Structure 1
């Protein structure tokens, strides 16, 4: 096969995998596990269009078609023979298409784009994710499964002494977390499965039968004697193979917008929200307001500071007098906040919406709901407002970590107060986040100072995935 690219060798290998269906028991199982995650995530959303990458002979395709019989499904694979076998299984119910997942040539937009055990074959998965994100409808989701570090480790260890292992170096789950589509909410989660084999020969035959036998570039095949030694060590170690799988689920925001939260109360969320509204000609929504006994409220404040018309500042779901958390302020008035009433506005979906939270992430909304839960529910990317000075590193980095642990996309951080280049650099590097702006302290807050500060912020087109 000299002169043939590795990608073409992979394609040919899968084309010739005639016994794939009988041999690919783990691939079938992982497809089922991925489908269960898709079904759960889409429980309240009936998809109209689904794009599958790397469909193979149709393990995942069959499950999708059975569960959503009315959805248009386009199932694609790099290997023409695989597409033919899938089509023979499912007939006209599914549209088969030969396509390289790294260069999609089908028309969007889709409710679901998915692929089981295809991700590890991509040379530049991050670039593929960024492209696929643009093919999603607002609120659409990406679902993938892929191999991670530790897969085939038993065989790798058996070959180590011969210094020649053809299996790839798969990424760690931690490294994979940074491979994600721009400002989509979601994350990767890991799982490990053990597959026993009767012999080393059976394992190697399995790789050949499933088309997964193309080694890494530069691999030099073991000499017969060395191969026998590796096979003997493998069998002596128990003759089983570990599959380390990562499942990724990412959702595109359901509408244009950001959620503004802070590292604490009083860090300047309302001022920065007004700046964002001004900079982006955005809508504004403060879903829950408290402290109205002491001040006119953030909605009126932002309307005035940003010079926005009243129609651009949407009414709150709950407004309370006491300067307490939303839960405590509502209770003080003998009221309760209905979680079902907290629905993200869908007016002018293409126009950015600035949603301002109450306090920080862990502020209670009800006895079972906190601000961070609303952020997860609404799946908007987050703008974190933080103080620029002493103490900000701990508060900001903890806030970023809490958001990432929940799969929340982070648009960036705005530092409010006297410019501090060192804190700015540390937050950017340690927090792996973009600093959207450093906004100097304003001794007087007015429409003029908001307009001036808003010019320091990036444009909406520079922030948004839309």
Structure 2
């Protein structure tokens, strides 16, 4: 007799879970929470096309249908009987299809790709997220929930106390999940704890079977009958309550091809690097907030000259004083029209290099810092840093600030004399790729930029890979 694979056993377990809807309390809660996270992340955006993976019996599908009645939804699952029960909900404008999440066979793009409590069953969740993000339309959202380390901790502790090991899966930590955000999408994982009380420990065990989650780990020897009974009594004595550690991740695909160039501080070489990137990628250029025009011609004409007359979009703000954009605008009694801060050319495939002003924590408007604009635009960031003494603290703090806010980092460009130790430290401690090292040049000309640009990776290389 042919032995079933783990995926086949999981499918069979879910197909047999005829009492799923009445037993799946936390699964229903997670679907509601995920729906709320999706709605918040989309803001006022209305998704026209939605792909749901691992739809089960349709908890999340029903929520999505209620939130966006006009959207076209493709709801998929690997277990055919789960799909049958989801179809029985009678939801309109929903197409149900059987699909193996490890072998995606659906055509995109989709404005929203989502899945509730399915990722924990996958052997390679990072690859699954990457594959799903490839189905997104520009500016689209990938939203999933999963289980984290600490789930069923009380049952696992009771089994260990009796000299055994629970057969429930080993779930990843929040830290390890933060490391698999699908590049170049922007976003973070958020954790939530949920304690579910049971009338008895045996009810918890029956709950796992009723929800299709009773497939044991392959590397665990089952508890003996005596061990199992004692573990059950031990959990009963502790109150028969079990914790679920839930993680919700919402990841936005960039609305168009491009990067946002920022620096560790002012005068670090952002404009030179921006010109090199424009030259290397034959890209477009936008300096949205320009100040200091009393002392120089401005970065837009400089990049136009250095990079060979590329397409340049006009600044949203151009001020004379050499101050932060907010302070310069206040000094001249002007305000930035928020509508002019919209990223130009949404959906465009020609790369756009957006150059910021100063560093991440420079005030851009009375309400926004540069880091807020980076989040709003959703482009992966190229961080320009000095190569020499003092760069480590500034660079690593900037990287940490971006990661904490869920900003995708394309890489770092080091400006100045080569410093192998600093480069290695930034790559290892910052978990980032150094895209290039740009040496000091006394005379910056279009030919200089042409030569320096060859040190940078291609656009295809940058958009497909990040450390």
Q: Give the TM-score normalised by the residue count of structure 1.
A: 0.98
How many residue pairs get aligned? The number is 464
Residues 337 and 365 in structure 1, CA contact (< 8 A), matched pair in contact too: no
The 5 A counterparts of 1:118-157 are 118-157=118-157
Q: Could you tell me how far 1:338 is from its partner in structure 2?
A: 2.9
More displaced 10-residue stretch of structure 1: 32-41 or 343-352:
343-352
Residues 257 and 351 in structure 1, CA contact (< 8 A), matched pair in contact too: yes
CA distance in structure 1 between the partners assigned to 2:90 and 2:123 by the alignment = 30
Residues 337 and 366 in structure 1, CA contact (< 8 A), matched pair in contact too: yes
Q: Could you tell me how far 1:94 is from its partner in structure 2?
A: 1.2
SS of residue paired to 2:189: strand
The 5 A counterparts of 1:190-209 are 190-209=191-210
SS of residue paired to 2:113: strand
The 5 A counterparts of 1:19-168 are 19-91=19-91, 93-160=93-160, 161-168=162-169
* Corresponding position: 1:459 with 2:458: yes
* Corresponding position: 1:281 with 2:282: yes
Residues 118 and 145 in structure 1, CA contact (< 8 A), matched pair in contact too: yes
SS of residue paired to 2:75: strand
Residues 279 and 450 in structure 2, CA contact (< 8 A), matched pair in contact too: yes
CA distance in structure 1 between the partners assigned to 2:80 and 2:448 by the alignment = 61
| Equivalent in the alignment of 2:444 | 445
| Equivalent in the alignment of 1:323 | 322
SS of residue paired to 1:276: helix
CA distance in structure 2 between the partners assigned to 1:21 and 1:347 by the alignment = 41
CA distance in structure 1 between the partners assigned to 2:385 and 2:78 by the alignment = 47
| Equivalent in the alignment of 1:299 | 300
Q: Deviations over 1:74-123 (max 9, x none)?
A: 11111000011101113553111111112111111100000000010111
Q: Could you tell me how far 1:358 is from its partner in structure 2?
A: 0.2
Q: Deviations over 1:178-200 (max 9, x none)?
A: 01111101010101010000101
More displaced 10-residue stretch of structure 1: 368-377 or 89-98:
89-98
CA distance in structure 1 between the partners assigned to 2:156 and 2:432 by the alignment = 36
Q: Deviations over 1:15-40 (max 9, x none)?
A: 00000000001100110000011112
Residues 126 and 180 in structure 1, CA contact (< 8 A), matched pair in contact too: yes
| Equivalent in the alignment of 2:247 | 246
More displaced 10-residue stretch of structure 1: 144-153 or 364-373:
364-373
The 5 A counterparts of 1:299-448 are 299-309=300-310, 312-346=311-345, 349-448=348-447
CA distance in structure 1 between the partners assigned to 2:113 and 2:336 by the alignment = 36
CA distance in structure 1 between the partners assigned to 2:421 and 2:318 by the alignment = 39
Residues 389 and 418 in structure 1, CA contact (< 8 A), matched pair in contact too: yes
* Corresponding position: 1:14 with 2:27: no
Q: For residues 351 and 211 of structure 1, do their structure 2 counterparts lie closer, same or farther at Cα, with a shift above 3 Å needed?
A: same
| Equivalent in the alignment of 2:256 | 255
More displaced 10-residue stretch of structure 1: 88-97 or 420-429:
88-97
Gaps of at least 5 residues in structure 1 are: none
Q: Could you tell me how far 1:465 is from its partner in structure 2?
A: 4.6
Residues 255 and 347 in structure 2, CA contact (< 8 A), matched pair in contact too: no
Q: Deviations over 1:100-154 (max 9, x none)?
A: 1121111111000000000101111111111111111000010000000000000
Q: Deviations over 1:277-319 (max 9, x none)?
A: 000000000001000000000000000011124xx01100100
Q: Could you tell me how far 1:443 is from its partner in structure 2?
A: 1.3
CA distance in structure 2 between the partners assigned to 1:68 and 1:91 by the alignment = 12
CA distance in structure 2 between the partners assigned to 1:388 and 1:313 by the alignment = 29
More displaced 10-residue stretch of structure 1: 232-241 or 331-340:
331-340
CA distance in structure 1 between the partners assigned to 2:91 and 2:128 by the alignment = 29
Q: Could you tell me how far 1:8 is from its partner in structure 2?
A: 0.6
Q: For residues 342 and 374 of structure 1, do their structure 2 counterparts lie closer, same or farther at Cα, with a shift above 3 Å needed?
A: same
SS of residue paired to 1:51: strand
Residues 75 and 96 in structure 2, CA contact (< 8 A), matched pair in contact too: yes
CA distance in structure 1 between the partners assigned to 2:158 and 2:348 by the alignment = 56
More displaced 10-residue stretch of structure 1: 129-138 or 197-206:
129-138
Q: Give the TM-score normalised by the residue count of structure 2.
A: 0.97
Residues 134 and 465 in structure 1, CA contact (< 8 A), matched pair in contact too: no
The 5 A counterparts of 1:172-211 are 172-211=173-212
Root-mean-square deviation over aligned CA pairs: 1.3
